[in-house]
C-alpha cells in the first residue's frame, strides 16, 4: 500500500479538490490511503473561532458562519445537486461544532482547541471522499480518531504505538482506496487530540509504519524539497535525494516541507518518502531514503521567524553552572518553551526560544528572581546546513546580527530585521 498526503493548499477550493482527483487518476488510485488536511486556511479560521469563544466575543457566531460558508461554496462548486448527501453531512458536522460551543464545560484551553480545530479535517475529508465517489474513484472514508490513539497532551499528543498499530493492521484492507484525516488522534476517553501543527505528515508516517507501506508521498505546491524557502530566498534549487539522517537534521532545524516527527518511523522500516508537486504530479520530485546525504550537495537555508532571544546572567557575577542550566531547562520544559539554539559563557547563558503557548511572561517572572535578564522579541533564526562564505553573506546582508554560532556542518545566525 502507498500513502499519499495532501495539505491544505492542495484542497483550498473546488479546483484544488478536482486536481487531487486528477492526481490519483494519473498516478493510480488502487491500494492507497489518502490523508487530507483542512482546506486552505481553515485551521487559522477555526483558531479565530477559538479566540472568540474563549473571549466570549460577540463575533463568535459570525466566525463560525464564515467557516461554514467557505465550505458551502466549495460544495456548490463541486456538486450539481444540492440534495446530495454530502451537503447534509457537512452541515451536520457544523451543527456538532456549534453544539460543542454551547455545551462545553471544560476550562482547559488546549482541550477546547483540539475539539474545535479538528472540524477542519473532518469536513475536508468528508467533501473529498464524496467527490471521489462522485467521480468514480470508489473509496472508504475513515475517522482517523478510531485508529491513532494518544495520551492526553492536547495540541501535541504522543502516540500510543502498540494500540495504534493493532487498530490499523486489524481494520485496513489491501486493494482499497481510503480517505482519512491528518493531524488528529484520540485519547483514552475518545476525546479528540492533535499531533501538533503540520502533523498531517506525521499521520502519514504513522500509517506507513503500521502498515509496512511501500512508500509515502507528500504532495506540495513546490516541485519537491528545495534548498531554501522560495518565499524568503532567491534562486532556490531542487534537492533530488536526501538521506534520512540529513532530512532529520533539516527537519530539526525547522525545514517546513517535512514535519520533524515524520522521519523517524519511516527510517526504522526504511520506507521511502517522496515530496512531489500536485501541479506536475509526474515529475520525480525529491526522494528521502537510504543513500547519498544530499544530491546535489549545496548549502540549505532554513528560517524560523517570531523567535525570542533570551540572555541570562548571574546577579553576583558568579559562574552559571550545570545546576543553573538544569533549572532553566526544567522551567522551559514545564512551560513548553522550545529551545532552538544555546550559547553560554562563564557568567551568561543565551537561548533562542519559541513561545508556542505564550508562556514566556510566566517564565520571565520566575527567572528574574535569580538572574539578570535581557531579551529580544520577534527575531529570526537562520540555519545554514553545509554553509560556505557566500551562503552566510546571503543571510547577513542588510540585517543586524545578534548572535552567530558555527559547527562543522551548520551555521546559525539570529538577526533583527
Check if the beta carbon of residue 301 is closer than 8 Å to that of residue 384: yes
Residue 39 in grid coordinates? 482546506
Domain with CATH 3.40.1160.10 in the chain: 2-213
Strands 32-36 and 338-344: unpaired
Closest CA relative to residue 112, chosen from 46, 63, 41, 66? 46
Beta strands in 96-174, from DSSP E residues, in sequence order: 140-141
Neighbour-count burial for 291-323, b at 16+ CB within 10 Å, e otherwise: eebbeeeebbbbbbeebbbbbbbbeeeeebeee
- Residue 2 makes CB contacts below 8 A (sequence gap 6+) with 31, 32, 33, 213, 214, 215, 216, 217
What's the rounded Cα separation, in Å, for the pair 251 and 288?
A: 12
Beta strands in 254-337, from DSSP E residues, in sequence order: 273-277, 286-289, 294-295, 300-314
Residue 170 in grid coordinates? 486489524
Domain 2-213 fold is Carbamate kinase (3.40.1160)
What's the rounded Cα separation, in Å, for the pair 288 and 222?
A: 16
Q: What is the DSSP letter of 164?
A: H
Residue 417 in grid coordinates? 530585521
What local confidence, expressed as pLDDT, does residue 258 receive?
81
Domain 300-416 fold is VC0802-like (3.30.2130)
Q: What is the DSSP letter of 9?
A: G
DSSP states along 186-253: E-TT--EEE--TTTHHHHHHHHHHHHT-SEEEEEESSSS-BSS-TTT-SS--B--EEEHHHHHHHHHH
- 3-class DSSP state of 258: coil
What's the rounded Cα separation, in Å, for the pair 185 and 165?
A: 13
What local confidence, expressed as pLDDT, does residue 415 receive?
97
Check if the beta carbon of residue 225 is closer than 8 Å to that of residue 242: yes
User: Which sign, positive or negative, has the C-alpha torsion 372, 377, 383, 388?
Assistant: negative
Q: What tens-digit pLDDT sequence spans the chain (417 residues)? A: 999 999 999 999 999 999 999 999 999 999 999 999 999 999 999 999 999 999 999 999 999 999 999 999 999 999 989 999 999 999 999 999 999 999 999 999 999 999 999 999 999 999 999 999 999 999 999 999 999 999 999 999 999 999 999 999 999 999 999 999 999 999 999 999 999 867 999 999 999 999 999 999 999 998 999 999 988 999 999 999 999 999 989 988 988 768 778 999 999 999 999 999 999 999 999 999 988 889 999 999 999 999 999 999 988 878 888 888 999 999 999 999 999 999 988 788 999 999 988 999 999 999 999 899 999 999 999 999 999 999 999 999 999 999 999 999 999 999 997
Q: For the whole model, what pTM was predicted? A: 0.86
- Report CA 207 to chain centroid distance, whole Å: 16
E strand or H helix that includes residue 372: strand 371-385
| Neighbouring C-beta atoms of residue 138, cutoff 10 Å | 11
State the number of CA atoms in the 13 A half-sphere of 307 facing the CB: 26
> 371 has which bridge partners?
314
Check if the beta carbon of residue 26 is closer than 8 Å to that of residue 18: no
Alpha-carbon distances, residue 366 vs 309, 334, 361 (angstroms): 17, 12, 9
Domain with CATH 3.30.2130.10 in the chain: 300-416
Residue in the structure block whose three cell numbers are 509496512 = 212
What local confidence, expressed as pLDDT, does residue 65 receive?
98
What's the rounded Cα separation, in Å, for the pair 98 and 93?
A: 9
Amino acid at each position: 500500500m502507498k500513502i499519499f498526503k495532501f495539505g491544505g493548499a492542495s484542497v483550498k477550493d473546488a479546483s484544488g479538490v478536482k486536481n487531487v482527483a486528477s492526481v490519483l487518476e494519473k498516478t493510480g488510485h488502487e491500494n492507497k490511503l489518502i490523508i487530507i488536511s483542512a482546506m486552505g486556511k481553515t485551521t487559522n479560521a477555526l483558531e479565530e473561532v477559538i479566540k472568540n469563544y474563549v473571549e466570549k466575543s460577540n463575533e463568535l457566531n459570525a466566525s463560525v458562519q464564515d467557516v461554514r460558508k467557505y465550505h458551502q461554496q466549495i460544495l456548490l462548486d463541486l456538486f450539481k445537486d444540492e440534495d446530495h448527501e454530502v451537503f447534509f453531512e457537512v452541515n451536520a458536522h457544523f451543527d456538532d461544532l456549534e453544539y460543542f460551543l454551547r455545551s462545553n464545560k471544560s476550562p482547559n484551553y488546549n482541550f477546547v482547541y483540539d475539539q474545535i480545530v479538528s472540524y477542519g479535517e473532518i469536513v475536508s475529508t468528508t467533501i473529498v471522499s464524496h467527490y471521489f465517489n462522485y467521480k468514480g474513484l470508489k473509496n472508504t472514508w475513515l475517522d482517523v480518531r478510531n485508529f491513532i490513539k494518544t495520551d492526553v497532551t492536547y495540541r501535541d499528543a504522543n502516540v500510543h504505538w502498540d494500540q495504534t498499530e493493532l487498530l490499523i493492521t486489524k481494520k485496513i484492507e489491501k486493494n482499497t482506496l481510503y480517505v482519512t484525516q491528518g493531524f488528529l488522534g484520540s485519547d483514552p476517553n475518545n476525546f479528540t487530540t492533535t499531533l501538533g501543527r503540520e502533523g498531517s505528515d506525521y499521520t502519514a508516517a504513522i500509517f506507513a509504519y503500521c502498515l509496512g507501506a511501500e512508500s509515502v508521498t507528500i504532495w506540495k505546491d513546490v516541485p519537491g524539497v528545495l534548498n531554501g524557502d522560495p518565499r524568503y530566498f532567491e534562486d532556490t534549487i531542487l534537492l533530488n535525494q536526501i538521506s534520512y539522517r540529513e532530512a532529520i537534521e533539516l527537519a530539526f532545524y525547522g525545514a517546513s516541507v517535512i514535519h520533524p516527527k515524520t522521519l523517524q518511523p519511516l527510517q526504522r522500516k526504511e520506507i521511502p518518502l517522496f515530496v512531489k508537486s500536485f501541479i506536475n504530479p509526474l515529475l520525480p520530485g525529491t526522494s528521502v531514503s537510504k543513500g547519498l546525504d544530499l544530491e546535489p550537495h549545496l548549502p540549505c537555508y532554513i528560517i524560523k521567524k517570531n523567535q525570542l532571544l533570551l540572555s541570562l546572567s548571574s546577579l553576583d557575577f558568579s559562574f552559571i553552572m550545570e545546576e543553573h542550566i538544569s533549572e532553566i531547562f526544567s522551567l522551559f520544559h514545564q512551560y513548553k518553551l522550545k529551545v532552538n539554539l544555546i550559547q553560554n559563557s562563564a557568567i551568561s547563558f543565551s537561548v533562542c526560544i519559541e513561545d508556542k503557548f505564550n508562556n514566556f511572561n510566566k517564565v520571565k517572572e520566575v527567572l528574574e528572581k535569580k538572574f539578570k535578564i535581557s531579551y529580544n522579541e520577534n527575531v529570526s533564526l537562520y540555519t545554514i546546513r553545509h554553509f560556505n562564505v557566500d551562503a552566510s553573506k546571503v543571510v547577513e546582508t542588510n540585517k543586524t546580527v545578534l548572535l552567530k554560532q558555527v559547527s562543522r556542518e551548520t551555521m546559525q545566525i539570529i538577526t533583527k530585521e
